[in-house]
Amino acid sequence: MANLCVVGLQWGDEGKGKLVDVLSKEYDVVVRYQGGGNAGHTVVVDGRKYVLHLVPSGILRPGCVCVIGNGVVVDPATLVEEIDGLKAQGVRVEENLLISDRAHMVLPYHKIIDKLADTEDGKPRIGTTGRGIGPCYSDKVSRQGIRIGELLDKAEFGKRLREALVQKNRVLTALYGAEPLAFEPLYNEFCGYADRLRPMIRDTVDVLNTYADQGKSILFEGAQAALLDIDYGTYPYATSSNTTTGGVATGAGLPPKSVGHVIGVAKAYTTRVGEGPFPTELQDDLGARLREHGGEFGATTGRPRRCGWFDAVSVRHSTRVCGADSIALTKLDVLGGMGRIRVCVAYRHGSEILKRFPSSCAVLRSVEPVYEEFEGWEEDISQARSVKTLPKAAKDYIRAIEERVGLPVSSIGVGSGREEIIRLPL
Active site residues per annotation:
13, 41
8 lies in the binding site for ligand IMO (CB under 6 A): yes
* φ, ψ (nearest 5 deg) of residue 346: -165, 170
| Residue nearest ligand GDP by beta-carbon distance | 413
Q: Which is nearer to Mg ion, 222 or 253 (CB)?
A: 222
Given candidates 9, 13, 35, 397, which one binds Mg ion under the rule CB under 5 A? Answer: 13
CA triple 104-67-83, angle to 5 deg: 85
Per-residue 3-state assignment (H helix, E strand, C coil) for 64-133: CEEEECCCCEECHHHHHHHHHHHHHCCCCCHHHEEEECCCEECCHHHHHHHHHHCEECCEECCCCCCCCH
Count of positions on this chain that bind Mg ion (CB under 5 A): 3
40 lies in the binding site for Mg ion (CB under 5 A): yes
221 lies in the binding site for Mg ion (CB under 5 A): no
| Closest alpha carbon to 300 in 224, 382, 386, 214 | 224
Look at residue 408 and give its three-state secondary structure: coil
Query: Could you say which residues in the range 270-329 bind ligand GDP, by CB under 6 A?
Result: 295, 299
Shortest distance in whole angstroms from residue 274 CB to ligand IMO: 2
CA dihedral 273, 277, 280, 286 (to 10 degrees): 50
Site string for ligand IMO, 285-324 (x = CB under 6 A): ----------------------------------------
Shortest distance in whole angstroms from residue 358 CB to ligand IMO: 19
116 lies in the binding site for ligand IMO (CB under 6 A): no
Given candidates 18, 104, 115, 131, which one binds ligand IMO under the rule CB under 6 A? Answer: 131
75 lies in the binding site for ligand GDP (CB under 6 A): no
Q: Which is nearer to ligand GDP, 367 or 414 (CB)?
A: 414
Q: Which residues, in sequence order, are CB contacts of 235 under 8 Å at separation 6+? A: 359, 361
Which letter does DSSP use for residue 240 in this model? S
Site string for ligand GDP, 334-373 (x = CB under 6 A): x---------------------------------------
Contacted entry of ligand GDP, ligand IMO, Mg ion, none for residue 333, CB cut-off 5 to 8 Å set by kind: ligand GDP
| Closest alpha carbon to 107 in 152, 56, 171, 164 | 164
Instruction: In whole angstroms, give the CA distance from residue 96 to residue 85.
Output: 15
222 in Cβ contact with 41 (< 8 Å): no
H or E stretch including 271?
strand 270-272
H or E stretch including 401?
helix 392-405
239 lies in the binding site for ligand IMO (CB under 6 A): yes
Intra-chain end-to-end CA distance of the chain, in Å: 15
34 lies in the binding site for ligand GDP (CB under 6 A): no
61 lies in the binding site for ligand IMO (CB under 6 A): no
36 lies in the binding site for ligand GDP (CB under 6 A): no
Which residues are near ligand IMO by CB under 6 A? 8, 11-13, 38-41, 126-129, 131, 133-134, 223-225, 228, 239-240, 273-274
Which residues are near ligand GDP by CB under 6 A? 8, 12-18, 40-42, 44, 295, 299, 330-331, 333-334, 413-416
